[in-house]
Amino acid sequence: DKPTYGIHGTPDPSKIGKTESHGCVRLTNWDARELAKLVSPGVTVEFVGGPTIAEVGGTSTDEFTQQ
């Protein structure tokens, strides 16, 4: 079996970019709502290497929400 990961929102944006879950992808609630509009249930998600928001000094308001 392949591992599974949750992609979900959090009501506390200060937790974005911090290790506080068990492998989930945590978004702000508003980003999670926007993402849900753009994808279908069961869509395949591929995680690729790259810097995290915390590593590049970003905030919870990233490029995705500003488009």
Which is the catalytic residue, given 5, 7, 8, 20?
8
The verdict on whether 8 is a catalytic residue reads yes
Which is the catalytic residue, given 18, 21, 24, 33?
24
- In DSSP notation, the chain reads ------EEEES-GGGTTS--SSS-EEEEHHHHHHHHHHS-TT----------TTTTT--SS-HHHH-
The verdict on whether 22 is a catalytic residue reads no
- Which active-site residues does the annotation give? 8, 24
